[in-house]
Amino acid sequence: MVLIFIAAVLLGRFRLNGSRRTLLKFAAVVILALDNLYSAVLTMTVNSVSTGGFATWTFAADGVVGSLLLAVAAWLPDQRVRQRARGLLIALGTSIAILAVIIVSTALLGDRLPSAFADVPETGDELELLSEHTALLVAEVLTAACFAVAAVGFARLAEEEDDEFLQWLSIGSVIASVAFVNYALFPSQFTELVFSGDFFFFAAVAALLVGAVREISREEAARIRTAVLEERRRVARDLHDGVAQELAFIASQMRWFLRRPADTEPLEQVMDAVERALDESRGAIAALSRPIDEPLDLALGHAALDIADRVGARLHLDLATDVQVSADWRDALLRISREAVANAVRHGRARTISLQLRDNGGVWLRVTDDGDGFDVEAPRSSQSYGLTSMRERAESLGGRFEISSTPGAGTTIEVVVQ
């Protein structure tokens, strides 16, 4: 079970880095895990794994193949696997095929394969030094050598890449190598006895388990740091695109006004920019105070309610739950909904605003108000900046932005994300 857990950790690593080395390590651990599972089944179904050549040699051969693959993975020059899903299927299929070939071969040879012992030891006193069959002794020495080679390779890679998980793989491989040396000297592997080699092997698996758990903890911490950094970048981008731009516009307009104090026309645009800058800053503050993983429907509802409460409008929400969009689209929909609600009240004098969110083969957001409306074909007024920013934001991400309005009949804004 521990080896299956470690295989899952290696699978996660392969999905992230696409490394050929990681894929080979995964295949090796899968073979060792299935070998242990198979030996457990044999232990329950036969009288003793040492009395028949089939069980004995199947287990021994799988150990050699698994340790050899680990050694190859530790020293083979690395490269990226371009088609990861295909590579993973090949690795799994090859591992299962290797096990099947070994099982079928040993089953066909059957009684022609030698047993582990002439007389199976039943007590620790009967377990003599180097007492198993010579061929099994060679197999165990070869397995120990492969684990030792893998340990050296993983140690070298761990130092080069500053990788703690590879350090634990190296430690586990060292202890496994000692375990198989002990199995060769005091052959308890194919007996009912629990001897020193077994304790070394348990220690090797425990070291691998510690490494796997620490790898998961490290990966979780890295994901949290990445999420926090991405959120900080998003807020910084929002402040730059929103508040900073509005303040720059206000500064330019005020310089114009100071040169021509009698011309009060820019003041209305300045007030619009001030209100937009306030909305942007409040939106950034709200984003920082809410959970990063807040569902989209709740985030949209909070953003719209924040604006509606300040401008004194009634808000009707009809938002589907469990709607999933990318981080960029999530940010765009939040900003568009805030801008749409604010424009509806400031420029359309709306009293009631409705928000709808659906996911029917594509995410669809509609904002409808009962305001004064306007002629969409007429020259743009002071509200055109908000409409332009919403359109550009949606279309820059490959979405569709549509607006329909009639004087005296309100305005409807629709955003479609394919």
Residue 369: the pLDDT is: 92
In tens, the pLDDT along 196-254 reads 888 998 899 899 889 888 888 887 777 777 777 776 776 776 666 667 667 777 777 77
In tens, the pLDDT along 179-188 reads 999 888 888 7
* CA contacts within 13 A on the Cβ side of 16: 9
Lowest mean per-residue pLDDT among 48-52, 148-152, 323-327: 48-52
Residue 153: the pLDDT is: 92
Query: What is the C-alpha to C-alpha distance for residues 313 and 316, in angstroms, rounded to an integer?
Result: 10
Answer whether residue 171 shows pLDDT above 90.
Answer: yes
Q: In the chain, which residues fall in CATH 3.30.565.10?
A: 295-418
Query: What is the C-alpha to C-alpha distance for residues 86 and 101, in angstroms, rounded to an integer?
Result: 22
Residue 365: the pLDDT is: 92
SS3 25: helix
Question: Of the segments 111-115, 362-366, 375-379, which one has the largest average pLDDT value?
Answer: 362-366
Q: What number of residues does the chain have?
A: 418
Mean pLDDT over all residues of the chain?
81
Residue 226: the pLDDT is: 74
Mean pLDDT for 129-157 is 88
One-letter amino acid of 247: L
Of 151, 187, 191, nearest to 169 by C-alpha is 151
Answer whether residue 193 shows pLDDT above 80.
Answer: no
Query: What is the C-alpha to C-alpha distance for residues 335 and 329, in angstroms, rounded to an integer?
Result: 10
CATH number for the domain running over 295-418:
3.30.565.10
- pLDDT, greater one: 46 or 152: 152
Query: What is the C-alpha to C-alpha distance for residues 170 and 165, in angstroms, rounded to an integer?
Result: 9
Mean pLDDT for 146-162 is 91
First CA to last CA distance, the chain: 43
In tens, the pLDDT along 114-123 reads 777 666 666 6
What's this model's pTM, rounded to 2 decimal places?
Answer: 0.57
